[in-house]
Structure 1
Amino acid sequence: MKKITLFFAGLSFLVSCNSVQKEKESFSIADVTLSQYDNFGGEVSSETVFYKDAIAEKYENLSEGDTIDITFSSTVNDVCKAKGCWMKVALGNDQETMVKFKDYGFFVPKDIENDTIIVQGKAYVSETSLEELRHLASDAGKSETEIAAITAPKKTYSFMADGVLVKQ
């Protein structure tokens, strides 16, 4: 009887040790097959690429006016339908970041919703004005009713991209 109890106690310990493994926060750009991506803007050359959950944690620690240079991978939730001049990218915890492109110097394709991207640049927190929120909703093809429902400025996780890789 003692042997059976000891066996199950040991088995429970081993199972619990395996379930505590922490998920990786990042990967190396060297692990990416760059030929499977289209490049927009500058070269994405950062050695460390964070997953979207890890970048969400970094945004939570930023105050308005703070910036960090970072590279991360995620999926595109929305993109400007007029020119491809901005995109909204998923973060962990059902949040997203508004990505714009450095010096308005490049655009991304207008049909990349749900595509995987790697983006390199500066993350920051800002407040988006009522006027800009309505303009962005218009660019996204929202209805007049949806645009009129926007009534207050919003704290926004923002990103100024130097370069973007879009998975083919």
Structure 2
Amino acid sequence: MKRIFLLVMLVTFVFSCKNESKQTEDSVDITQNMSEDKEISYSSFGKEINAADALSAKRMATHFESMAIGDSIDTKMIAKVDEVCQAKGCWMKVDLENGEQVMVKFKDYGFFMPKDIAGREVVLNGKAFVNEVPVEEQRHYAEDAGQSAEEIAKITAPKKTFSFVADGVLLKED
């Protein structure tokens, strides 16, 4: 079953990438036609991508739940931003709509996100995986997020997390 799932994801990824260009601009306005009457405007960060064939956060949650530590898939997903690194925008957490979050980092630190985008919708393209985050790394992220020393001190054990390394992000315009 796992092999079938990976094969389906690989085929989906290959077909979704066949017409992508390799432009890497920090911020570009992109308009996607979602229907004849409705256009959605995005700002682009990192590799130029489009919103077509992106999985919903809820659908992506089911994929994450079936993955074990060390598993990964190439995918595209749509989610709402919960929080962003307030130091420089070098990571963000997005909501999976099931009470879980995905920690998103950016490939090779090639780009950063604006720090004021909590609550906005993004389309992420890249690699989704499950890993175990050590205590020190969790504390670092908590510090970046502006948590108190007391909250940071409560972090005492490694944590299984859903992660994503994005090579391109679309930020939906309000």
Identity of aligned residues (%): 50
Q: 2:99 & 2:69 partners in 1: Cα distance?
A: 21
Task: Pick closer, same or farther for the CA change 1:167–1:47 going to 2, 3 Å.
Answer: closer
Q: Does 1:112 align with 2:112?
A: no
- Name the structure 2 match of 1:3: none
Q: 1:149 & 1:160 partners in 2: Cα distance?
A: 27
**4+ aligned runs moved over 3 Å, structure 1:** none
- Name the structure 1 match of 2:89: 84
Q: Which amino acid aligns with 1:49?
A: A
What is the Cα deviation at residue 146 of structure 1?
A: 0.8
Q: 2:155 & 2:33 partners in 1: Cα distance?
A: 43
1:48-127 equivalences under 5 Å are 48-127=53-132
What is the Cα deviation at residue 62 of structure 1?
A: 1.1
1:1-168 equivalences under 5 Å are 31=34, 33=39, 36-45=41-50, 47-168=52-173
What is the Cα deviation at residue 74 of structure 1?
A: 1.0
Q: Which amino acid aligns with 1:72?
A: M
* Number of equivalenced pairs: 140
What is the Cα deviation at residue 61 of structure 1?
A: 1.4
Structure 2 unaligned residues grouped into runs of 5+ = 1-15, 17-31
Q: TM-score, normalised by structure 2?
A: 0.76
Structure 1 unaligned residues grouped into runs of 5+ = 1-27
What is the Cα deviation at residue 31 of structure 1?
A: 2.2
Deviation by residue 1:66-100 (Cα, 9 ceiling, x = unmatched): 11111111100110000000000000311110000
Q: Which amino acid aligns with 1:92?
A: E
Q: Which amino acid aligns with 1:68?
A: I
Contact map agreement 2:69 2:160 (CA 8 A) in 1:
no
Contact map agreement 2:51 2:123 (CA 8 A) in 1:
no
Contact map agreement 1:99 1:160 (CA 8 A) in 2:
yes
Contact map agreement 1:46 1:120 (CA 8 A) in 2:
no
Q: 1:91 & 1:114 partners in 2: Cα distance?
A: 13
Q: Secondary structure at the match of 1:49?
A: coil
Q: 2:51 & 2:69 partners in 1: Cα distance?
A: 24
Contact map agreement 1:99 1:161 (CA 8 A) in 2:
yes
Q: Secondary structure at the match of 1:50?
A: coil
Q: 1:43 & 1:95 partners in 2: Cα distance?
A: 27
Q: Which amino acid aligns with 1:70?
A: T
What is the Cα deviation at residue 46 of structure 1?
A: 6.5
